[in-house]
Amino acid sequence: MLRSLPKLSFLFSSTRNPHYLASAHRFASKGRTIRRPASRVKIGVTTRVPIRSMSTSTNSPVIASEMAAEDQVQVQQVKLLTSTIDDYGGVIVELDQPMDSATFIPILRASVSHWKQLGKKGVWIKLPIHLVSLVESLVKEGFWYHHAEPAYLMLVYWIPESPSTIPANATHRVGIGSFVMNAKQEVLVVQENSGKFQGTGVWKFPTGVVDQGEDICVAAVREVKEETGVDSEFVEVLAFRQSHNSFFEKSDLFFMCMLRPLSSDIQVQRLEIQGAKWMPFEEYAAQPFVQTSDLLKHINDICLAKIDGQYPGFSPKSTSSNFSDQKNYLYLNAGTLKRSNSS
């Protein structure tokens, strides 16, 4: 017999107590309802869940006969973790209400059992920092770390026996370098007072890391402004480089960008930058460090070709996507594409 479970709850058979079963059937046969105290943890599913009554062995033939006849078992109520369905057959749980491990573990186990019956695969639990005490419980139940942010830890679990297809955490960090040249063919360069270039005397292009949710074209303009005080506008992506094991074993994508200066006065940001100035491109390219770097020599060749008008870069084209409501940028060779479409 299938029974529809109450909203925000999931029912489990009490199969270990035949006296409870006998009492349950007697109450059921008289039309009475057994009530259990409701959990004070305000979490649970939001749909009605059908569950088939489970049979159980007992020493009483009377009880066994009643069970066979009615094919039902009164059960105790346990609430489930509230979850949302993701696009890949998994569930996402965002915990918030404080609870201790003794309260949490039975609810977690019941929830995983329920999701398994529904055929769900991956379980994502977003654990806020104020519930850090539950980390050990989750790990002991088979969850593992996926990623962390300042305010939460994301843990995951794979329900099926098949190999997990949960995607890895973000694999790349994105950086930018800015080639900014004025009408005198001078390039904007900086000396850093921290990191690998500290104390080397090397003059380099302004560089930085793209913030989360920030476009490459926006990051390049921002970094130039922050480090030198120079206003600029984005022109093109000239090239990009991929490297590995760069930052805490993550890969790195570095985009070399060309910007057009809108001002010339320099105001150095002293926190990270020791000095900044406009330098003739030939002087920059002649530095021993630049001459001995295979990567920088290639970048110099690209910049020279761009100066001579012989190198087409990739300019940002604002587009929309079926996967997001936000505007995004496609970087393309607009000039070549326009000539190709007009031919």
Q: CATH code at 146?
A: 3.40.630.30
Q: Both 195 and 95 in a single domain?
A: no
In the chain, the N- to C-terminal Cα span, in Å, equals: 72
* Residue 77: CB atoms within 10 Å: 17
Q: Both 179 and 292 in a single domain?
A: yes
Q: Both 200 and 311 in a single domain?
A: yes
Mean of all residue pLDDT scores within the chain: 81
- Quote the pLDDT of residue 335: 77
- Quote the pLDDT of residue 44: 52
Q: What is the chain's alpha carbon radius of gyration, rounded to the nearest angstrom? A: 32
Residue 132 inside a domain? The answer is: yes
Number of domains the chain contains: 3
Residue 22 inside a domain? The answer is: yes
Residue 327 inside a domain? The answer is: no
Q: Helix %, strand %, coil % for the chain, to 5?
A: 30, 35, 40
**285, 302 Cβ separation under 8 angstroms:** no
Residue 325 inside a domain? The answer is: no
For residue 90, pLDDT over 90 is answered with yes
The residue segments making up the domain with residue 13 are 1-80
Q: Both 16 and 66 in a single domain?
A: yes
Q: Could you tell me the pLDDT band of residue 148, with boundaries at 50, 70 and 90?
A: very high
- Mean pLDDT, residues 80-103 taken together: 95
* Residue 110: CB atoms within 10 Å: 18
The stretches of 35-191 forming alpha helices (DSSP H) are: 61-70, 101-117, 135-140
Instruction: Specify the DSSP element, H or E, that contains 25.
Output: helix 18-29
Residues 231-261, buried b or exposed e (16+ Cβ, 10 A)? ebebbbbbbbeeeeeeeeeeebbbbbbbbeb
Q: Both 207 and 309 in a single domain?
A: yes
- Mean pLDDT, residues 267-292 taken together: 94
Residue 322 inside a domain? The answer is: no
Q: Both 248 and 302 in a single domain?
A: yes
> Where among 146, 168, 190 does a domain terminate?
168
Q: Both 298 and 196 in a single domain?
A: yes
109 or 46: which leads in pLDDT? 109
Task: List active site positions.
Answer: 226
- Quote the pLDDT of residue 118: 96
- Residue 283, sorted as left (phi over 0), alpha (psi -120 to 50) or beta, turns out to be alpha
For residue 228, pLDDT over 90 is answered with yes
- Mean pLDDT, residues 201-214 taken together: 94
Q: Could you tell me the pLDDT band of residue 78, with boundaries at 50, 70 and 90?
A: confident
DSSP 303: H
238 or 6: which leads in pLDDT? 238
Q: How far apart are CA 159 and CA 91, in angstroms?
A: 11
Q: Could you tell me the pLDDT band of residue 27, with boundaries at 50, 70 and 90?
A: very low
Residue 333 inside a domain? The answer is: no
For residue 124, pLDDT over 60 is answered with yes
Q: Both 162 and 176 in a single domain?
A: no
Q: Both 252 and 137 in a single domain?
A: no
* Residue 296: CB atoms within 10 Å: 17
Q: Both 127 and 9 in a single domain?
A: no
Residue 229 inside a domain? The answer is: yes
- Quote the pLDDT of residue 4: 36
